[in-house]
Structure 1
Amino acid sequence: MVLNVTGSFQLMKSLNRSLVLNIIRTETQISRTEIAKRAKLTPPTVSSIVSELLEEGLIREGEAGASKGGRKPILLSINVNNHYIIGIDVGTEEVRAGLTNLNADVMALHRKKLVPGLKAHEFMEIIEELIETILHEETDFSKIIGIGIGMHGIVDPERGVSVYAPHFGFEEMQMREQLEARFHLPVKVENDARAMALAELWFGEGTDASDIVVINVGDGIGAGFIVKGRLYHGRDQIAGEIGHMIVDLNGRQCTCGSYGCLHTVASGIRIRERVLQELTLGRKTAILDLVQGDKHAITGETVHQAALQGDAYAIEVLEEAGRFLGVGITNLIHMVNPDKIIIGGGVSKAGDFIFTPLRELVEKRVMTKSAKRTEIIPSKLENKGTMIGAVTLVLAELYDYSS
């Protein structure tokens, strides 16, 4: 029997099955006997569960393991390419939807630009169209076990609701309810930065740590906190909104209505705004040459390219953003003292132009010698972090990781 509907998915999550599945996942290859020992289950119980999982195609038998006397045991592993998940990354300018296997390897990718002024129903139509495109390409619909969404803004994952998406102006958008009714698949919805944090914990730079902060620095700035291996949301689902951490009391007004937020000094939008302002004032820079004089074509990537060519102003802009990020990260280290801080998003691609001044400020301002050495590194998931995180939301349910 192949599982593909919400009721079957809940059956997959039965405690012992999920326990066995998670042991196989974390060990990569393991025998039935070892599973029984790790899970503290009887061999007949493990044998029965393994038989079900083999029949459903979730696991597979592989090579024989080393013998400890008697017949060599058959090793079990996750059958990663027999089931799939749809992951959706909602950015401020486009939506990207991918199909992945159970190892979060992206098998197909589609994207759609978002035009300014979209209504909520138009936005949801775009999401549905992208899902439909993937479903039409995947001939065996029954192999898809769920849909995960990393959504811009404030999200209530318990209800599957986009509470407030500031860039779009959407409020109380019932994403899970609408998509489950349409596609009859389980849907998980989470804030994009928290989804990225989950991706780093499972598949990225955070696999060896239990307390991490993952920061997404793009057009906006957000973070996901992993505490003792679990996502931390806060009472009102706003934990991680570090873009609205105040770092300059005399600063510019932010979109949230406050002044001097980190978003106003270190986001991709602010980097572009600052360059445009200085160009208007007659600042000489190679940035304009890279876009053949078209100011509207300037992006954060343009600024990075100019910096790589040695343009003094481009370097100045990126280093200032890095220092302000350093202020924010210093505050985070003093508040949550994580094992590791991982930074992703478009701005992080500027590399040492951002990370060198950031680390220098942290080294100077953090209180203790040990905390000064907090590892601060770029993500290696590149621009797939949020999508992989969205997929991981479904995987966490499959393996009952939250229990």
Structure 2
Amino acid sequence: MTGGQIGNVDLVKQLNSAAVYRLIDQQGPISRIQIAELSHLAPASVTKITRQLLEFGYIQEVAQQASTGGRRAISLKTQVTQFHTIAVRIGRDYLQLSLHDLSGAVLAQDESSIQYRDQGELVGQLFDKIALFKASNEARIQQLIAIGVILPGLVNPVQGEVEYMPNTKIDDLPLAKMLKEEFKVESFVGNDIRAMALAEHYFGATRDCNDSVMISVHRGTGSGIISGGQVFLGSNRNVGEIGHIQVDPLGEQCQCGNFGCLETIAANPAIVKGVKARLAQGYSSSLADEANIDIDTICEHALNGDALATQSIVRVGDQLGKAVAIVINLFNPEKIVIAGHITKAKEILFPAIQRNVVSQSLTAFHKDLPIVSSDLELQPTMGAFAIVKRAMLNGILLQKLMDSAQ
């Protein structure tokens, strides 16, 4: 057998093992017979794979299912509580960490501020924070199987390389490789918005559909597209830049160089800037009494009936709705998810989005289309855990763990 043939055999084994593990994880408790039927694998192959997964402790046998005649089948489900992951979200001036078991449950979390201008400063602080977090949670960690890191910018998720980050000097940073060398554990790196869209699909608002779009309104405006249950990526892995759709040709100049991009209107800094500018012009508002105006404050005042705050949220909804309509016409998703603190005023925001969606997208596409808020807004590191979970479900991490245990 040639090297290529051996490689193909190994790949088939990995894919088959992943298919079996995925079914047990997503539909367990499930019997071997049911696994064979759903995976279209031979019963003997399913028995061999499950025996191996049992030996390594990644699945367990549970109470027998009710008999339908003949010998009762034993059910299988995944083991989750003893396998742990550190999930990290890097922001522009903050770093959030959490410890998860394989079910996604958060066992510990921490947040701190960071300042970095280049990849050397970024990596140094990242490693220090992870090491400290790991040490402080040593008693909780039974078996650390992976580290997941998400960040803003352009990432090659296959190689785990960071190619670009806003306001940071980056030179093809092999972050996943460096993390693995430093902490001796498999590591994965991804774009924060795309990873959060995946997290919504695994654990949040889009668990019930395979085609969805998540739009994030934070310091910038971005989107993650789920197609066929997978994150949609272009050839250079950089898609979903909804924030740079032009919605106002006469608008302010964006950092990208264009004028009137959605991000100049529908991003937290732009919203706050607009409110402060109107207050300076003499607009009457209860916000004038606030010492610190941020997006949460604006939402609160809008919900309390303040006209300026309400108008600001509606303006965002109108422009966001135009971009959402374009996305709907392009991708015909089953669900749209809006993420960001601005959804605290969704009673005001969503009707404005909906009006524009109805007037500017195909009726067949927007009819009965749910537009909902994120389920994971208060769990910002779930995207980092989701990319580890994906590696487990597609067999990449699962195979590496079994190989290292042999």
Quote the residue 2:346 is aligned against. Answer: 351
Matched, 1:19 2:19: yes
Q: Give the stretch that moved more between structures: 243-252 or 83-92.
A: 83-92
State the secondary structure of the residue aligned to 1:172: coil
* Seq. identity, %: 32
1:45 to partner: Cα distance: 3.5
State the secondary structure of the residue aligned to 1:359: helix
Quote the residue 1:124 is aligned against. Answer: 123
C-alpha distance in 2 between matches for 1:185 and 1:338: 36
Alignment of 1:164-175 (within 5 A): 164-168=164-168, 170-175=170-175
Unaligned runs of 5+ in 1: 1-9
**Does the CA contact (< 8 Å) of 1:363 and 1:373 recur in 2?**
no
**Does the CA contact (< 8 Å) of 1:59 and 1:76 recur in 2?**
yes
Matched, 1:388 2:382: yes
Quote the residue 1:48 is aligned against. Answer: 48
C-alpha distance in 1 between matches for 2:356 and 2:38: 45
1:48 to partner: Cα distance: 3.4
Matched, 1:377 2:377: no
CA deviations on 1:41-81 (whole Å, 9 max, x unpaired) are 44444333323322322112221101122332221111121
**Does the CA contact (< 8 Å) of 2:24 and 2:77 recur in 1?**
yes
1:99 to partner: Cα distance: 1.0
CA deviations on 1:343-370 (whole Å, 9 max, x unpaired) are 1122223212211111111112223244
Quote the residue 1:180 is aligned against. Answer: 180
C-alpha distance in 2 between matches for 1:40 and 1:95: 44
C-alpha distance in 1 between matches for 2:203 and 2:26: 12
Quote the residue 1:254 is aligned against. Answer: 254
Alignment of 1:257-296 (within 5 A): 257-289=257-289, 291=290, 294=291
Paired amino acid for 1:340: K
1:171 to partner: Cα distance: 4.9
Paired amino acid for 2:149: I
1:161 to partner: Cα distance: 2.0
**Does the CA contact (< 8 Å) of 2:84 and 2:142 recur in 1?**
no
CA deviations on 1:284-308 (whole Å, 9 max, x unpaired) are 321132x3xx3xx221001111112
Quote the residue 1:145 is aligned against. Answer: 145
Aligned residue pairs: how many? 386
Quote the residue 2:336 is aligned against. Answer: 341
Matched, 1:366 2:365: no
Matched, 1:161 2:158: no
1:221 to partner: Cα distance: 0.8
**Does the CA contact (< 8 Å) of 2:176 and 2:187 recur in 1?**
yes
Alignment of 1:184-199 (within 5 A): 184-199=184-199
Alignment of 1:5-16 (within 5 A): 14-16=14-16
Quote the residue 2:4 is aligned against. Answer: none
C-alpha distance in 2 between matches for 1:266 and 1:33: 51
Quote the residue 1:397 is aligned against. Answer: 391
State the secondary structure of the residue aligned to 2:265: helix
TM normalised by structure 1 equals 0.89
C-alpha distance in 2 between matches for 1:68 and 1:254: 65
**Does the CA contact (< 8 Å) of 1:95 and 1:113 recur in 2?**
yes
Q: Give the stretch that moved more between structures: 310-319 or 59-68.
A: 59-68
C-alpha distance in 1 between matches for 2:198 and 2:234: 16
Change (3 A) 1:393 1:261: same
Q: Give the stretch that moved more between structures: 371-380 or 186-195.
A: 371-380
Paired amino acid for 2:376: L
**Does the CA contact (< 8 Å) of 1:362 and 1:372 recur in 2?**
no
Unaligned runs of 5+ in 2: 1-9, 397-406
1:401 to partner: Cα distance: 6.6
C-alpha distance in 2 between matches for 1:312 and 1:160: 47
1:342 to partner: Cα distance: 0.9
C-alpha distance in 2 between matches for 1:193 and 1:329: 16
Quote the residue 1:107 is aligned against. Answer: 107
Structure 1's consecutive aligned runs of 4 or more residues displaced over 6 angstroms after TM superposition are none
Q: Give the stretch that moved more between structures: 336-345 or 275-284.
A: 275-284
State the secondary structure of the residue aligned to 2:381: helix
RMSD (Å), alpha carbons: 2.3
Alignment of 1:82-97 (within 5 A): 82-97=82-97
